[in-house]
Amino acid sequence: VQNDATGLYGQLTGVPKALLPGIGGKKILDFWWETVNTRQLFSEVYLVTNADKYKHYERWATANDFPVENVVNDGSTTLEGRLGAVADLELAIRSRKLQDDIMVIAGDMLCADQNFDIAQVLRFFRSKPGELAIYYELEEGEKSSSRGIVEVCPETHRISRFLEKPQEGVTALRLASVVFYCLRKATLPYLSDFLTLQPQAQDRTFGRFWEWIINEEKLPVFGMKLPTGFQLIGQVGLSDYTKWLAHYSAQQQQCPAKPITCRSYARVGLMGNPSDGFNGKTIAMTISNFWAEVTLMESQALVLLPHPLNDPTEFGSLQDLYCISRKEGYLGGLRLLQATCKKFYQFCSKQGIALTKQNFTLKYDTNIPRQVVMSATLKCLMKFYNITESDLPKPTRANFILNVETDELFITAGLQDRVVQVYEGLVYMDFSKQLMDEQGYGDYIPMDMSSLPPFWLAYLSDPSDSGRIHSNVRQRWLNGKTHTHTHTGMDWSRLAQLMDENFALRLYSFLFIVRCVCLPMQFGSAAKLPGSGGAVVGLCLDQVRLVEMRRAFQEAGCVFCVIVPYNPSGTIGTNSQD
């Protein structure tokens, strides 16, 4: 403030950094007091200050219902006579005879997002056999030389190395520790041991303490990431304080942000499917003809909006309900949104990512099978909670979505679909057993899409009818149009006959598929099944015959379209649909 040439901050002369205005005009310390003022989580809260600023904090405590007797005065009045941060903590523990797990937070720390869930931090701490240090990912322009940098094991979340303000070029790591820790009761004696080793106040910093605990004493310390930024105002001058306050305030003004809308696209399997379930290799491609779209908007309560078609709650009559239920079934898209949200929270909690306490409203639309909604939902959640690529890499993302289907919703599904919807474009996938066992996922390689030939797709004009391929086998049997044989005894000749009959019946049942694959052969076109939904994908290099084939498919009652590949770097191709 002494260097304030504008005169705008003269009234703040002598005010402790923690009592400076923070985001929205609220004092920085007010925010932290509101965060920890929860009897269900903390038995007592203490504030340590020096003698020079004690009166300021005494007045603040009286005005904010903070117990004045819990303001600890360390007796120092000058920078040269300071005790050091670790010595201040040890003083509070010793003078108040604390014998419990503790949380340590710098009261003068400006936080970019003030809605994180501190209860989630405590739950993660209690789930780990060691101490906890909060960290965040440095923003562009922040130098690692001004922070304590941590190296965190992505599997165990244990901090394997702590570098206190490393010189430029020493490390490429960008994960910065902040003064936000949890220590177990059994570890508190290490504080006095550290102070014995460090007699000089300038060396009694928390950064030096953790560097000693982690690198030398090898105590288990775990890291939890907060997807937000932090700045210790006590370490910066007026210009830096105003810069970061303006920066974080601008971020807050964008909240509630504009609605987040994400799409995930349909895919066609071009080669190898369904060998992804049998450690094979596949090539698949996303297409922009069909998609699922999810929109997320910040809201007071968490709301999942039903889709007017896929999640009907109002019907014209009982007969209308009967007809819709018979044709569409009972399983809409809301369960997909709910299961994805549940698994997302579970994943972040397990991975040590503390989410902000923000609610939202989700709605979706789709013109393809509803399962694709999950991929678009995950994209929205990642953007809303600022989850980065390093937090949730693409291979892990594909496994995540598949697990929502198979483990949470008990939907039979393959990994190929989720991989190509995460990577997007044309993707080669190797699901070899060795890769899957060693790393938990396969090798996924995006392929060049610059010279793709025109692929086509054909399917029944009423998409719901594609279900007849599988669903009406039992109905035809009930109607007497098919036969099921059971036979006891050891008549192997009869068994051989039944095997032939079984194949004939299955061939009859799936006649549409056979017809759609055979029809393109008349026009010199390759064709195959892109999945199991009753559609056919093909490749015809003769444009004249392509037009003739389209007419033949239309006469057979099918929809025929030229595929428009979806390329994440730009859509290519043209669409033709009648």
Catalytic positions: 417
Q: Which of 295, 299, 303, 301 is nearest to 255 (CA)?
A: 299
Dist CA 400 CA 240 (whole Å):
40
Task: Look up residue 94 and give its amino acid.
Answer: R
344, amino acid identity: F
Cα–Cα distance for residue pair 431/413, rounded to 1 Å: 15
φ, ψ (nearest 5 deg) of residue 309 = -100, -45
Token pair of 290 as six digits = 């069909």
Cα distances (angstroms) measured from residue 502 to each of 139, 473, 481, 494, 510: 64, 13, 14, 12, 12
Find out whether 301 and 407 touch, Cβ atoms under 8 Å.
no
Beta partners for residue 225, in sequence order:
135, 353
CA 92/CA 86 separation, integer angstroms: 10
Strands (E), 157-259: 159-164, 175-183, 221-225, 230-232
Do residues 512 and 485 make contact, with C-beta atoms less than 8 angstroms apart?
no
DSSP string of 83-113, one letter each residue: --HHHHHHHHHHHTT--S-EEEE-TTEEES-
Q: What is the chain's alpha carbon radius of gyration, rounded to the nearest angstrom?
A: 31
191/209 Cα distance (integer angstroms): 8
Q: What is the DSSP letter of 166?
A: P
In the numeric block, which tokens belong to residue 327? Answer: 């044709």
Upper half-sphere CA count for residue 373 (Cβ side, 13 Å):
27
Q: Return the beta strands (E) in 418-551 as ranges.
A: 426-430, 443-446, 455-460, 526-528, 536-539
- Tokens 């049997």 correspond to 477
Determine contact, residues 28/19, Cβ cutoff 8 Å.
yes
Written as six digits, the tokens of 272 are: 């190898």
Three-state secondary-structure class, residue 358: coil
First-to-last alpha carbon distance for the chain, in angstroms, is 71
Nearest Cα to Cα of residue 231 among 427, 375, 23, 520: 23
